[in-house]
Amino acid sequence: MKGTGPAWPPTREAFDCKFMRDANCVNARGKDANLSRLEQWARDGVITLQWCATSADEACAGAGEAAESRRMKVMDTRKPLDGGRTLQTVATQLQWITDEPSQGENVILSKVQNVLVHNRALTIQDKTDIDIIFEAWKYKLILITNDGDSNRQPRGILGSAADLRRELGVRVMRPADAVGHTRSAINNRDEYARSWADETGNALPEWVGRDA
């Protein structure tokens, strides 16, 4: 007779693996192994991997072959966020219809600015980064970025990651860290699924052991 074990049937979606990517994580040519792995997991329903309005717009900016490749990648992987947002596609251009932030959300925007910029002059790129971090906060998504991961960007978003987590609860990861985070979540998911199958007598889901 089976015991009383895990009651809820396991799902393929791994726990705590809802991500949003920054504009520098387009992976237009598919050459970034970590981003490619995350994209495959998203296609398989293991994780959520989304764009926000600001990161999509930034990724699609510019002209020429490289910009066109980025636009096509964003269009191919887009998944609109909730909360009154609609993604419209006109030829290769992307336009987002966005609600204005509430009074409470403006307070959060100010906190993000204080963490990211401190007392220095605000740049156009700073404003973009603030909007992207705000979207990650609003929709409770883990932000994947390479911002601040070079000599030209000694701090950036990654350099502010600890402060963003402490002050606002926003988590920021490099693509490689997001892959590691997901693999850990998949292992926990599979362990639960095996326990559930043992305790209930149900068949083990076919995806167990396949995703990591």
Look up tokens 């336009």; give the residue: 95
User: Does residue 206 carry a pLDDT above 70?
Assistant: yes
Say how far apart CA 185 and CA 190 lie, in whole Å.
9
Q: What residues pair up with 50 in beta bridges, in sequence order?
A: 20
pLDDT per position as a tens digit, 131-172 = 999 999 999 999 999 987 554 445 789 999 999 999 999 999
Say how far apart CA 151 and CA 107 lie, in whole Å.
32
Supply the pLDDT for residue 3: 53
**Closest to 72 measured CA to CA, from 27, 129, 20:** 27
CB atoms within 10 A of CB 108: 18
Global pTM exceeds 0.85: no
- Whole-angstrom distance between the N-terminal and C-terminal Cα of the chain? 32
The CATH architecture one would assign to domain 18-200 is 3-Layer(aba) Sandwich (3.40)
In contact, 182 and 171? CB cutoff 8 Å: no
- Provide the sign of the torsion angle of the four alpha carbons 127, 132, 138, 140, taken in this order: negative
With cut-offs at 50, 70 and 90, classify the pLDDT of residue 46.
very high
**Tokens matching residue 17:** 């693996």
The residues spanned by each domain of the chain are 18-200
**Tokens matching residue 173:** 């990861």
Say how far apart CA 94 and CA 92 lie, in whole Å.
7
Supply the pLDDT for residue 95: 35
pLDDT per position as a tens digit, 91-117 = 233 333 345 678 888 999 999 999 998
**Closest to 56 measured CA to CA, from 88, 30, 32:** 88
User: Does residue 202 carry a pLDDT above 50?
Assistant: yes
Say how far apart CA 54 and CA 20 lie, in whole Å.
11
> 75: helix, coil or strand?
helix
- Using alpha carbons only, how large is the chain's radius of gyration in Å? 19
